[in-house]
Chain A
Amino acid sequence: MGDCDGCHTMHGKDGSPARPFLMASTDPSSTCLVCHSGMSPATGHVFSTNVGGPPDNYTPAGDYAWLLRSYTWTGPGGGVVVSAGERHGHSVVAYDFNLPSDTTYTTAPGGTYPSASLSCISCHDPHGRYRVRSDGSFASSGDPIVASGTYGNNPALPPTTQTYGAYRLLAGRGYQPRSLSGALSFPNDPPVAIAPPAYNHSEALTDVRVAYGSGMSEWCANCHGALHTPAVTGTSPYLHPSGARAQLGREASIYNAYVRTGDLSGTWATGYTSMVPYEEGTTDRALLASHASSNGSYRIGPSGTENVMCLSCHRAHASGWDHALRWNVGADYIVASGQWPGVDSVGAGAKPEIAQGRTRADTRAAMYDRDPSAYASFQTSLCNKCHAK
């Protein structure tokens, strides 16, 4: 947590008028990104300013620079197909970083949160008021926050007179940025989750495993409520299940067995992949802390009581694919001829409908620097991790 003058300026600078809320930068997200961006990947960076190459922050939530990468290709009918940058993630408004508001959605899909007001502080409480109490409940005031609640490097819960911060400073019940008018406060508290301290690195060798515990999808529903599993089954058009009522069940055995297309020889002991994470269905922070890892030390897969969540398929910030999906569901293959698809690929991977305007380097970065040999030579969608037939 920085000092006040890390984000606010009291009287404006150099004769320029003070900005709303005395922000030091043009808008809230631009202020955040001054610190949380950089030419090279680093802890805390969520926006790559290396504008030449593909975004290279491999955080679990993804790199917002994907919002600035648009791709076009020729479709089967000869028309131009576009994968617009703004479709690659949450279109946070950060004018200094060339991030405008979404031009397609005026409000959050499945909700009414205005796109023009979407910023980092829509989800993260910049003042970090939300905290975990000694009984595991959340509050926005009260006993002092003595440590981060994001990493599992403290005792599981604080003593009675102290609290931990909420996961990633995520906001909770009753939260609404002061800059946002209307009745849009969050109905749900932050999720319970634990991340490994080293979470921004290539996944070529080992996965970054965030141990999601509970409440993740319910928290997304703060803005995207209508996309969430209805309280009463059958009361809305079919939606992919997610959240506390969406246990993996029998799909867990498929998850564990699935290694790649045509290979169902996987085991429970090594079944996990961060490309398709799930929620463990627990609030036990000590247990979650023992599962969070970034060195491959814990690869055990699900047993069936875990939950599908929004983040099983989507990244929270952005990804290289439409709808912030973790992999490309819009192509027949995510690996073709043993290569990442790309306009510079050879063979099937160079076909426009497979490469989809990306280079192999773009695709590799979107797959978190994995080698294509991690998958089958002709690898199909990772939907099969749960639904292989």
Chain B
Amino acid sequence: MKLAALVAAASVPLLAAGAAPARAPAAAPETPDPQQPKLALFLFNLSDFLGDVKGSFQRVAYDRAHAEAYVWGGRDIQVFGGSGMQIYSFGSAQGLHSVYSIAPLPSGDLIVSQIGPSGPEIVRCNYRGEVTGPFTPTALPPGVTLGYDEIRYADGKLWFLTQGAYRVVATDEDGRYLFTRDLTKAISAGMEADQEPDTSEVEITGFDVDEQGNVLVTIAAQFRAISVSPDGVGHPFGGKGSRPGKFNVAGPIARDERGYYFVADTLRSVVMVFAPDLKFLFEFGGRGETPGHLVIPSSIAVGNGMVFVSQARNRGVSVFRLQ
């Protein structure tokens, strides 16, 4: 990937090749939301009885149905309740290894990808975190495999991202193959005509899936976020810049159940909030040591009006409430 192509991708009108102009993703609310958030109030850091739980570059998932946050950064996974206190932990004692991603299911089961003794694997755990067996996909077409880099449960499906292939595979909760979403076209939209994105250079930095089945990615090298609707069309937003609404280094992304997007800029250490129509609303955090500030936000989870942000510098996970 030539730098010129990357810059071009970020600066041209953000259109998919041959596609309609960028528009709000499918199923976005059409009327103004009277409860539209205007700020994010810092509440606390996730804690245990000894105080703030420290950690760097932890990953966080939020189970909206049970109002529980899962935080992990290795073999041990911590579960936090609605008050931000740790209520449970599991991991190596339950047979887990180096965990990459966790997707909580409505049933309470967990789908976990990890690096086991013999390489990457995906396993199913019960609500106690005990490994109950491998997660074995069925009816996969030839050549299709489940990615283990990121797993999400959304829109009643499990979504598996293969980082190096711009591909998301969806299955049902039992592992039955449903479809593959190729992100290549959406990611290459706006790039020079003869340029195909080089997956080794144009890395998917942030990933999420919303309840309408839109796949959300950020591409730091392109300075933008993209919402890829079920029809495969990409809706990019952001763009290169240091001011609010733009990205210096686009990081993790998430979308809440009301349709609001949350995208971190890891350089400025802020989380930006975008409306369902992709219009920038406000940002919060900002680099700093004091409560409410952030240092390199590395993972975001949202739901029930809460935003969970993990950070670098051993700062753990900060929790904000939308107002």
* Physical interaction between A and B: yes
- Residues of A with Cβ closer than 8 Å to B? 1, 3, 5-6, 9, 13-14, 16, 24-26, 30-31, 34-35, 38-40, 42-44, 49-54, 95-98, 198, 200-201, 344, 359-361
* Cα distance, A25 to B73, chains bound together (Å): 23
A270 to chain B, nearest CB (A): 26
* Cβ contact within 8 Å between A25 and B267: yes
* Cβ contact within 8 Å between B312 and A24: no
A32 to chain B, nearest CB (A): 11
* Cα distance, A360 to B118, chains bound together (Å): 9
For B55, the closest partner residue in chain A by CB is A51
* Cβ contact within 8 Å between A200 and B200: yes
For B76, the closest partner residue in chain A by CB is A52
B53 to chain A, nearest CB (A): 14
Which parts of B213-270 form the interface with A (CB within 8 Å)?
220, 240, 242, 248-249, 266-268
Give the residues in chain A near B184, CB-CB below 8 Å.
Answer: none
* Cβ contact within 8 Å between B286 and A51: no
* Cβ contact within 8 Å between B203 and A360: no
B45 to chain A, nearest CB (A): 17
**A–B Cβ pairs within 8 angstroms, 12 of them:** A9-B268, A14-B293, A16-B287, A34-B266, A35-B220, A39-B298, A51-B58, A51-B74, A53-B115, A200-B200, A344-B117, A361-B115
Give the residues in chain A near B75, CB-CB below 8 Å.
Answer: 52
Give the residues in chain A near B99, CB-CB below 8 Å.
Answer: 52
* Cβ contact within 8 Å between B268 and A97: no
Give the residues in chain A near B266, CB-CB below 8 Å.
Answer: 34
A238 to chain B, nearest CB (A): 42
* Cβ contact within 8 Å between A9 and B242: yes
* Cβ contact within 8 Å between B200 and A52: no
* Cβ contact within 8 Å between B267 and A13: no
A354 to chain B, nearest CB (A): 17
A224 to chain B, nearest CB (A): 30
- Which single member of A40, A50, A51, A96 contacts B295 (CB below 8 Å)? A96
- Which single member of A3, A52, A198 contacts B98 (CB below 8 Å)? A52
| Total contacting residues, chain B, CB less than 8 A | 40
Give the residues in chain A near B201, CB-CB below 8 Å.
Answer: 42-44
Q: Let me know if B132 is at the binding interface, CB within 8 A.
A: no
Give the residues in chain A near B74, CB-CB below 8 Å.
Answer: 51-53
* Cβ contact within 8 Å between B248 and A5: yes
Give the residues in chain A near B212, CB-CB below 8 Å.
Answer: none
| B55, B73, B74, B203 pick with most chain A CB within 10 angstroms | B203
- Which single member of A38, A98, A198 contacts B56 (CB below 8 Å)? A98
Number of residue pairs A-B, CB distance < 8 angstroms: 104
Q: Let me know if B160 is at the binding interface, CB within 8 A.
A: no
- Residues of B with Cβ closer than 8 Å to A? 3, 55-59, 72-75, 97-100, 115, 117, 149, 163, 200-201, 203, 205, 220, 240, 242, 248-249, 266-268, 286-288, 293, 295-296, 298, 312-314
For A10, the closest partner residue in chain B by CB is B242
Give the residues in chain B near A14, CB-CB below 8 Å.
Answer: 286-288, 293
For A345, the closest partner residue in chain B by CB is B117
* Cα distance, A236 to B18, chains bound together (Å): 69
For B299, the closest partner residue in chain A by CB is A39
For A360, the closest partner residue in chain B by CB is B117
Give the residues in chain B near A43, CB-CB below 8 Å.
Answer: 200-201, 203
- Which single member of A6, A16, A39, A344 contacts B267 (CB below 8 Å)? A6
* Cβ contact within 8 Å between B298 and A40: no
| B201, B220, B288, B312 pick with most chain A CB within 10 angstroms | B312
A220 to chain B, nearest CB (A): 28
* Cβ contact within 8 Å between B312 and A96: yes
* Cβ contact within 8 Å between B117 and A38: no
* Cβ contact within 8 Å between B248 and A42: no
B218 to chain A, nearest CB (A): 12
* Cα distance, A97 to B314, chains bound together (Å): 8
Assuming the contacts A14-B286, A361-B117, asked whether A52 and B267 have C-beta atoms less than 8 A apart, the reply is no
Give the residues in chain B near A50, CB-CB below 8 Å.
Answer: 57, 98, 100
* Cβ contact within 8 Å between B200 and A34: no
B223 to chain A, nearest CB (A): 10
- Which single member of B59, B97, B242, B313 contacts A96 (CB below 8 Å)? B313
Assuming the contacts A24-B267, A35-B249, A96-B296, asked whether A40 and B115 have C-beta atoms less than 8 A apart, the reply is no
Give the residues in chain B near A24, CB-CB below 8 Å.
Answer: 248, 267-268, 287
Give the residues in chain A near B312, CB-CB below 8 Å.
Answer: 49, 96-98
* Cβ contact within 8 Å between A25 and B287: yes
B125 to chain A, nearest CB (A): 16
Give the residues in chain B near A97, CB-CB below 8 Å.
Answer: 56, 312-313
List of 5 A-B pairs having minimum Cβ-Cβ separation, nearest first: A52-B74, A53-B98, A14-B286, A49-B57, A42-B203
* Cβ contact within 8 Å between A51 and B57: yes
B184 to chain A, nearest CB (A): 16
| B57, B58, B74, B115 pick with most chain A CB within 10 angstroms | B57
For A361, the closest partner residue in chain B by CB is B115
* Cβ contact within 8 Å between A40 and B248: no
* Cα distance, A13 to B286, chains bound together (Å): 7
* Cα distance, A97 to B298, chains bound together (Å): 12
* Cα distance, A381 to B266, chains bound together (Å): 42
Give the residues in chain A near B220, CB-CB below 8 Å.
Answer: 35
B289 to chain A, nearest CB (A): 9
A301 to chain B, nearest CB (A): 28
* Cα distance, A43 to B1, chains bound together (Å): 11
* Cβ contact within 8 Å between A34 and B249: yes
